[in-house]
Amino acid sequence: MTITYEYEGALYVNLTNRCNCACEFCLRQGKAQGSIYTEDSLWLEREPTREEALDSFLSRDVCSYREIVFCGYGEPTYRIDDLLWLVDRLKEKFGDRLPPVRINTNGHANLINGRDVCPELRGRIDTLSISLNAANASDYAAICHPAQGEAAWQAMLDFARKSASYVPNVVMTIVDKDKTPQEIETCQKIAERLGVKLRVRSFIDS
């Protein structure tokens, strides 16, 4: 069972397969071979306990990585309580030597957990990378297929806006495939209105 894995100098953490979206471009939709996810067997037979995840961390030279990233096959905020528990344990052990901590997320943490988790991120999470993926609610639903439909769009925007008060670096991302310059400009304006940054990611054919 792969819980932590290395990628481009960062230490990634894989806690769950669960996700409320089925994004068209997601690597979990990829072929049996051809991506870091499928090749490294990141699909979990079961979710690791928080203690197992901590043991996986401590088996590595944690402070040698440029960043710690919670990102695997699923949406990491399904396990927000365990995620934050892990960050607390690592901060207790390594203090200021701990690399910055990032969560790659679809921005549905509050929707998934039924509460506003944003205040809990303060002092624990350094960067949130939130998948914006579209310029409006209908396109978002068509691309990401969230279980909650178009309501997930506003939930994601609200999460981005609220989290900016607690997390130093909040970045919304879109994938450049099939995006017009006008759509990218609209996404930029959305990010600016929410008080966060926008990153345009290159499409990876898995």
Q: For residue 165, is pLDDT > 50?
A: yes
Strands 197-201 and 169-175, bridge-based pairing? parallel
d(CA 81, CA 34): 32
In a domain, 187, yes or no: yes
d(CA 130, CA 170): 8
d(CA 190, CA 197): 9
Q: Which of 4-8, 52-56, 88-92, 163-167 is predicted with the least confidence, judged by mean pLDDT?
A: 4-8
Q: Look at residue 177 in the predicted model and tell me its pLDDT.
A: 73
Tokens of 155: 């939930």
pLDDT greater at residue 42 or residue 111: 111
Tokens of 16: 């769950």
Number of domains in the chain: 1
In a domain, 206, yes or no: no
3-state secondary structure 21-57: CCCCCCHHHCCCCCCHHHHCCCCCCCCCCHHHHHHHH
Domain of residue 147, CATH code = 3.20.20.70
Task: Look up the domain containing 196 and give its range.
Answer: 4-201
Compute the mean pLDDT over every residue in the chain, rounded to the nearest whole number: 91
Q: Look at residue 204 in the predicted model and tell me its pLDDT.
A: 59
Q: Look at residue 72 in the predicted model and tell me its pLDDT.
A: 82
In a domain, 44, yes or no: yes
Which tens digit of pLDDT belongs to each residue from 15-37?
A: 999 999 998 877 666 544 444 44
Mean of pLDDT values over 182-191:
96
